[in-house]
Amino acid sequence: MPMRLVVATNNPHKIDELRPLFPYHELLIPSDLGLKEFCPEENGKTFFENAYIKAKTIYQLSGMPSIADDSGLCIEALSGRPGIESARYGSNGGRLLTASEKNSLLLSELVNISNRSCAFVCCLVLYYGKQRFICVQETLEGEIAKSPKGRGGFGYDPIVYLPQCGKTVAELSANEKNKISHRGKAAQKMASILSTLNLEH
């Protein structure tokens, strides 16, 4: 059954990636409901905790089934950094770095380091009733490239190389990315679960 779901994000890139992955449902963002100042404090220590905070908050504000995504890049040689700090990495509480600045920072931290293993992680939480939620977490594993390549995608995509594809994530087409990405795989599983639920709003 088609549903209206509120996605707990103000990031247009995330909603653009999620809409094709939930083709049978109407995805709204907080501003569609007049919630223009949606900015909950993400003080969790894991992707799940932060996704749960966002999904529960928007559910409480809207009364509608809500989906939240928390995602980031985890680099093995950096003990999992930037991890849950991916969006704010390198800011030191000040100005947020641009995507290219963050990519340059990470590449500088990995100079002369042979272990380039990394993984994008995406946790999706569907919050659909008091104390009722579903969580799906997926990954896309790859390697940190020596230099950025590709103009597609966003964020860290240009520096994550996928040996199985012979490309960085930024060199994939939108369709290719949706099939194999951390967010794509998590959304496909969540969409399958949604098809079994009967949420009337």
* pLDDT interval class at 107 (50, 70, 90): very high
Query: Are residues 65 and 201 in contact, defined by beta-carbon separation less than 8 angstroms?
Result: yes
Where does 81-173 have alpha helices with state H? 99-109
Q: Choose the catalytic residue: 16, 69, 70, 157.
A: 70
Question: What local confidence, expressed as pLDDT, does residue 201 receive?
Answer: 45
Q: Is 70 considered catalytic here?
A: yes
Tens digit of each residue's pLDDT (9 = 90 or more) over 157-176: 999 999 999 999 999 998 89
Domain borders along the chain are 4-194
**In sequence order, what are the residues at sequence separation of 6 or more whose Cβ sits closer than 8 angstroms to the Cβ of residue 137?**
47, 48, 121, 122, 123, 124, 186
Domain 4-194: assigned CATH number:
3.90.950.10
Average pLDDT over residues 57-68: 94
The fraction of the chain above a pLDDT of 70, given in percent, is: 98
* pLDDT interval class at 20 (50, 70, 90): confident
